[in-house]
Structure 1
Amino acid sequence: MNALPLVSLLLGSLALGSAVPAAPPAAPATETVTVVVSSLASTSSIVKLNFYNSPDKFLKDGQMAIRMVVRPDGKSTLSIPVALAPGEWAVALSQDLNNNDKLDKNFLGIPTEPFAFSNNVKPRLSAPRFEECKFTVTGPGQVVTINDWNDF
């Protein structure tokens, strides 16, 4: 009678010991893309880069896949490496000239601080579409150059 609990304990231990631990989920493969930003309006004000990988989230508040904040530290050109998964991406940038941590806008909702988009898209009457700004990450060594700022 006393052997039954001992046998149960041994069989339970064997079952636990034979279980194969699950492998941790593999991280999605990424490629380093270098974003080169030039012609900054200020060499001291922060630059915010918002990366989007979905057309339905593009330019929607808080919907970016990645946000980076970079201080120019006296430079007018920045070279920023970022790890992106292969696929379609778009980046929207702004420079916070008065360092109030937001993109200031006028009474019509038009930004009053410099902003830019991948592919150097310059919107006129409305925000650009993801399709206009997108670039495709396909492999290592890719460079995205942004040098045409919108400043109203």
Structure 2
Amino acid sequence: MKMISAAIVATAGLLLSSHSLYANENNTSEASTFGELIVVVNATASDDGVVDVSLLETAEQFSNQQPPLRTCRQPPQQQKAYCHFNDLKHGNYALFIFHDENNNQDLDENFVGAPTEKLAISSIDLSNNDSPTFEQSAFQFDSDKAQVFINLQ
């Protein structure tokens, strides 16, 4: 992930919907510490290339000093892509997503360093924040199954 320039005018919509199912053999409540996170990415530029989703759990991963916790690369269909992160430990995470239209595995930039491919960061409106942090972007994942809907801009 590259630093985001002030020239970016993008917005990311994040909606975390979840439900929890707690049950054991005795029908008593017992919370699981792992779950499934489904990321639904909307508004790709086209159905070309792939959507690159990076799941991040630390500030070092967010600033590209360490590799992401997990990644998912899926081709968009009808300008939408889905990524499933199974057996994910409950905790705080951030998402960095971009539409790699030319499938070169890089977020392409113009001559001033502004991205030329659509992107989104969880919980961040990039038109109002050109230097987001992990803490600003993080969301809490604490369900057996949850969905995140995010729009690329």
Task: State the TM-score, normalizing by the size of structure 2.
Answer: 0.69
Helix, strand or coil at the partner of 1:119: coil
Deviation, structure 1 residue 143? 1.2
The structure with more strand, counted as a fraction of residues: 2
> Unpaired segments of 5 or more residues in structure 1?
1-28
Correspondence 1:113 to 2:117: yes
Q: Is the 8 A contact 1:50 1:91 kept in 2?
A: yes
- Please list, as runs of the form range in 1=range in 2, the aligned pairs for 1:73-152 lying within 5 A after superposition: 74-83=77-86, 84-124=88-128, 126-147=130-151, 149-150=152-153
Is contact 1:118-1:145 (8 Å) kept?
no
Q: Percent identity?
A: 27
How much is the aligned-residue C-alpha RMSD, in angstroms? 1.9
Counterpart in 1 of 2:6? none
Higher RCO, 1 or 2 (CA under 8 Å, sep at least 6)? 2
The one of 54, 64, 69 equivalent to 2:68 is 64
Match of 1:38 in 2: 42
Moved more, 56-65 or 126-135: 56-65
Q: TM-score, normalised by structure 1?
A: 0.69
Q: SS of 1:48's equivalent?
A: strand
Aligned residues: 120
User: Distance between the aligned counterparts of 1:118 and 1:62, measured in 2?
Assistant: 18
Change (3 A) 1:91 1:75: same
Is there any run of 5+ residues in structure 2 with no aligned partner, and where? 1-32
**Greater helix content:** 1
